[in-house]
Amino acid sequence: MNEKTLEELQDEFNSLSRKRMKQIIELEETTKELVGLAEKVYERSPEYVKVVCLSCNGKGTVDTEEGKKIRCQVCQGKCFMWVKRFQEVERANGS
Ligand SMILES: [Zn+2]
């Protein structure tokens, strides 16, 4: 029989766990990079305007019903948000 020993199974488990952890870290790094790039795209784009977050009013946190402060889910605590210009405004400015 070619059954794996307990040690072999544990090694395999640990190896796969390490691989998974490495991938999670890589995913987080890629996500951070993407968020940073999106920020640059918004800054360059004439279509978008940076405004004070409409949800937390620029505080970065919101109060829950229990009276706790939690990070604003809309701006992720950044206190601002990017909004797309209303087209009428673009036309009015453009002529
Ligand atoms: Zn906010």
Domain match, 7 and 28 both: yes
Neighbours of 66 (CB within 10 A): 6
Range of the domain at 30: 1-44
The Å distance, Cα 62 to ligand 1 centre, comes to 8
Look at residue 94 and tell me whether its pLDDT is greater than 70. no
- Split into its structural domains, the chain has a count of 2
Q: What is the pLDDT of residue 70?
A: 96
1 and 39 co-located in one domain? yes
89 CA to centre of ligand 1 in angstroms: 24
Tell me what pLDDT residue 2 has: 78
**Tokens standing for 79?**
């206190």
State which residues have CB under 5 angstroms from ligand 1, the bound ion.
Answer: 53, 55-56, 72, 74-75
Q: Give mean pLDDT, residues 11-35.
A: 97
Amino acid at site 73: Q
CA-based end-to-end distance of the chain: 82
Of 52, 46, 53, 44, nearest to 87 (Cα)? 46
